[in-house]
Structure 1
Amino acid sequence: MTLLSRTKEIAKSRGISMESLAKQVGISKSGIYQWDKHEPKPSTVKKVATVLNVSTDYLLGKSENIDSFSNPDSDEASGLGQSIMMAFDGKDIPDEDKEKLLEFARFLKSQRGR
């Protein structure tokens, strides 16, 4: 399975359109469809993996482990890690705003008793 086919498959299973994925990653939709001809930058693959919440190795066909993190109880696995890429409307969120969002997410998590 190719990078493009894996990306399309997981995006569909997550209910994310290719257009939405491209916008979140900051590339063109047609750029994604060129991956069968031209390999994307590693930074682009990492962003796609982050948006889809899968490992880069899975996207690249190096692993059948779809999980993006090995410890499901860690902050990173729940999307609360400091190094997570965050974007809104196709633009990166500034670091100071990321911290505020992470604090709010941690608060919500604590309210649910997790």
Structure 2
Amino acid sequence: MTIQINTDKTINGEKRNADFFSSQIEEALQRFESHITRVEVHLKDENGKKDGFNDISCLLEARIEGRNPIAVSNQADTMDQAVKGAIDKIKTAIESILGKIQKQNH
């Protein structure tokens, strides 16, 4: 499973953050690893550098073998919260999709 992290110019995409978020995603999606080929993370600050409420956006896109990519987004006050919320949403979406596939195969 490849994880690619993209940030806009207002968010610091330093390696430490990228490594931290990559490890969070890997850990959360570990049991689906054989089905997921790639996860893309898009982080952006909706209102630029200014502090704001729910202004950090995280879009997660997962590519599942043989299926169309699925994407979820989450907005929060901090990068950590935005990523965590998006991880929770994508995990639920993947569980749902893989559950439907398993039902079809039985």
TM-score scaled by length of structure 1 = 0.27
Q: Where is the strand percentage greater, Structure 1 or Structure 2? A: 2
